[in-house]
Every structure is written in C-alpha cells, then in structure tokens.
Amino acid sequence: MSEVTQISATISPETRDLLERYVSAHGVKKSHLIETAVLHHLSALDAIPTDLVIPPAILVSRTTGKLILDRIETPEPPTPAMRVLYEG
C-alpha cells in the first residue's frame, strides 16, 4: 500500500483502553495495529459463514442497560418453572 489516508472513528472508552494498553505493551504504532486488525477482521468475515459467527460482545441500549444493572443488583427470585427444574 503506497498511499495513506486518514480516518476518524468513534469508539467506546473500553476499546480505546484496550488499544492504548496493547500499543504501550508491544511498542507498535496505533495506525499499524488498527490497519492490521481491520484487515484481519475483514478477512475472517470472508472466510467464516455468517451463521458460524458468534459476536464476542453485545452492546445494549441505555434502557436495557438499566434493567440489566437492576437485575444484577437485585435478582428476581427463581420462577416456578426454574424451581421445578432444580427439584428433579
């Protein structure tokens, strides 16, 4: 690739932290890491059928996020079906 161009992207703070940690630990340039990662990702998507892919992360809406945090902090009691499942 003889020419270069610039892109900008909005990413999560968590992904940015991972990126910063990796370049710091391995001494590579961010641009090199990002370009290599994108090429690997696109290559993998070409090689793997869609129905084989299980995305490694889930991003949920703010409303759903609130529900999830509530349920983690104060879990609902097991449902009757759940109790039956564990009686057997």
Partner 1 sequence: MKVEVRQLRTDDDCLSFSSGDAALDRFFHKFAGQNQFQLHIGTTYVAVHEREILGFVTLSSTSITIEHLSKSARKRLPRYPLPALRLARLAVARKSQGQGIGKQLLRATFRIAQEMADRTGCVAVVVDAKANAVSFYEQFGFEPVEVVSGELGDRPSPLPMFLALGSIPRE
Backbone angles phi, psi at 35, to 5 degrees: -65, -45
Token reading at 65: 């996020």
Residue numbers of the site for partner 1 (CB under 8 A)? 12, 14, 48-65, 67-69, 71-72, 75-79, 81-83, 85-86
Residue 66 CB, nearest approach to partner 1 (Å): 8
Nearer to partner 1, 31 or 64 (CB): 64
Cβ proximity to partner 1, 39 vs 78, nearer residue: 78
Smallest distance, Å, CB 56 to partner 1? 6
To the nearest 10°, report the CA torsion of 76, 61, 16, 71.
-10
Tokens, residue 77:
């009691």
